[in-house]
Homo-oligomer: A and B are copies of this chain.
Amino acid sequence: MSEAIAPHPLDAALQLRPLGGDRFQGATQPAWANMVGPFGGITAAQLLQACSEHAKRQGQPLALTVNYAAAVADGEFEIEATPVRTTRTTQHWQMTLRQQGQVCTTGSAVFALRRPTWSAPELVMPAVPPAAEVPLQTQLPPVQWLRCYQFRFVEGGWPDYQAAPEAADSRTVLWVRDEPARPLDAPALAALADVFYPRVFRRRGRFTPAGTISLTTYFHADAAALAAQGARPLLAVAAGRRFALGFFDQSAELWSDDGHLLASSHQVVYFKG
């Protein structure tokens, strides 16, 4: 008798069943549940995964946009991932996630062939203590998907929702990795890009209903560079720009622990009150 080993929660979420052509079937996972529907980052990873597993896929992820039109209900869903145009260096995708024929999520992706060129960093990783010197957050808010990550906040952890004052800025800096530990790859990075709690919580010092409307992530590293990061924590930085009339935007950077920018990510978020 062989012992069944449960897959990693991320790998469980990424198990898509090909339905032929551009169609794939997936299912929500209890491990990734958010307050309403699944964690937006896992939906982003699933849309990217559908492209990656498509028979016509060329290259590796360069850009991913996910639009959250409606909450995904617990259960099965279907992703349609269509390569709409392939050129020498890029392949453009459109994706749609449906339940009972209704569109819940749309997306687009660009896959690309990277080539050796002149290269240079511009943004520099913030100077922070190494992950091992930053305490692991052991008290997590009561949201299931947070248990899929290890959080070590350098700055801007969850506010004390009972007693926190308004903050002058919404910046958060943390070391973060999948829990259990798992080697980094593009879908893991796509999910991590959404790992920050909404910046309005930090500015206002309190919880308020909020949800990502649209998320865009740019990948700056190829599969080899992501693999080189292994399962070690990434440095993650996020801050908002303007909060107005029910919406705000926030941008994030995800750094390898040796100081390379692996991804930059942006989102516009709905909030209440």
**B106:A94 contact, CB within 8 angstroms:** yes
Count class of interface residues, chain A? 35 or more
Residues of B close to A102: CB separation below 8 A: 85
Cα A94 to Cα B123 in complex, Å, equals 32
Query: Would A214 and B65 be within 8 Å (CB), given that A103-B85, A108-B108, A239-B122 are in contact?
Result: yes
Assess the A268–B92 pair: CB atoms within 8 A.
Answer: no
Within 8 A of B (CB), among A40-91: 62-63, 65, 67, 69-70, 84-85, 87, 89-90
Q: In the complex the two chains form, what is the Cα distance from A77 to B249 in whole Å?
A: 32
> If A69-B92, A106-B94 touch, does A114 touch B266 (CB 8 Å cutoff)?
no
- Looking at chain A's contact residues, is the secondary structure mostly helix, strand, loop, or mixed? strand
Which residues of B sit under 8 angstroms from A87, Cβ to Cβ? 69-70
Q: Is A273 an interface residue (CB 8 A)?
A: yes
Instruction: Tell whether A100 is near chain B: CB-to-CB under 8 Å.
Output: no
| A251: B residues at CB distance < 8 A | 251, 264, 266
- A155 contacts across to B, CB distance below 8 A: none
A253 contacts chain B at the CB level, 8 A cutoff:
yes
Given contacts A69-B85, A122-B169, A203-B122, contact A115 B245 (CB under 8 A): yes
What residue of chain B has the Cβ atom nearest to residue A170's Cβ?
A: B122
A244 at the interface (CB under 8 A from B): yes
10 contacts between A and B (CB under 8 A): A62-B247, A63-B67, A70-B87, A92-B103, A94-B96, A94-B106, A112-B246, A115-B246, A122-B203, A218-B249
- A: which residues have CB within 8 A of B? 62-63, 65, 67, 69-70, 84-85, 87, 89-90, 92, 94, 96, 102-104, 106-108, 110, 112, 114-123, 169-170, 199, 203-204, 213-214, 216, 218, 220-222, 239-247, 249, 251, 253, 260-261, 264, 266, 268, 270-273
